[in-house]
Structure 1
């Protein structure tokens, strides 16, 4: 905005690498967006950057259009996407390791296995009818006998 800023102050406020900041500052000086001044410090001379009139107009436009806020929002969404993707990859890798451990824990390679006719090593999923019957059996098992008023169980 207003005033001057040193290179490292600009690097600290941005979400890009120091080489990117350096490149953009050089381009900005070439295009008359920044002016460079030098200030003596305890460690030597510090290079300071200040917006020119053109730079100030660009800055004002960016503020007016909420450009910076939109860029921050975009970076946050990218970070969330990247994080979600990394979590997904982690879960896939974990699941693949679990499958490998299960497969390695009881290998049948090189062994002769006698299976009854029609049998398979892969468990067969129950049919809809079998699932329905199992459900009714569970429901009947959970029923308690109904007692009449005198404490005797009914014959139903």
Structure 2
């Protein structure tokens, strides 16, 4: 729901509420025009007191006002639901692309860092490739070479899988 429509609905609701209050005040202060006399005549000509009809007439404006208040309350509830629905749609429209792009960017960024570590381990392993064959004198360098090759493979896998996930996420949404 846009702000113009929301303002219009809010203004209409306010005017209706003000009219309801004014009508209630007018009804409470005005005398009843269709009031019957408080005394009645019997068939024999004697006057007897009768029930006061203003109590019955006073219930009509109250009933009408309560119905109008119920309608106004229903409109307020409907307006609240519309505002909530509009806010949700606005959030999806604004934050949806942002979340998609930030998630994809995060996967690519982590892929770059894993790639940096893989390249570092691979280049160091390449420098140590002469220690491939283990002898009694080069046991520690041989273990370092194997560790660096394993590290390069693991981080290379993480790098590639991170970019593949980012690519799939970009195509899916």
Is the structural similarity TM-score above 0.5?
no
Identify the structure with bigger relative contact order (alpha carbons < 8 Å, sequence gap 6+).
Answer: 2
Compute the TM-score of the two structures, normalised by the length of structure 2. 0.27
- Higher relative strand content: 1
- Higher relative helix content: 2
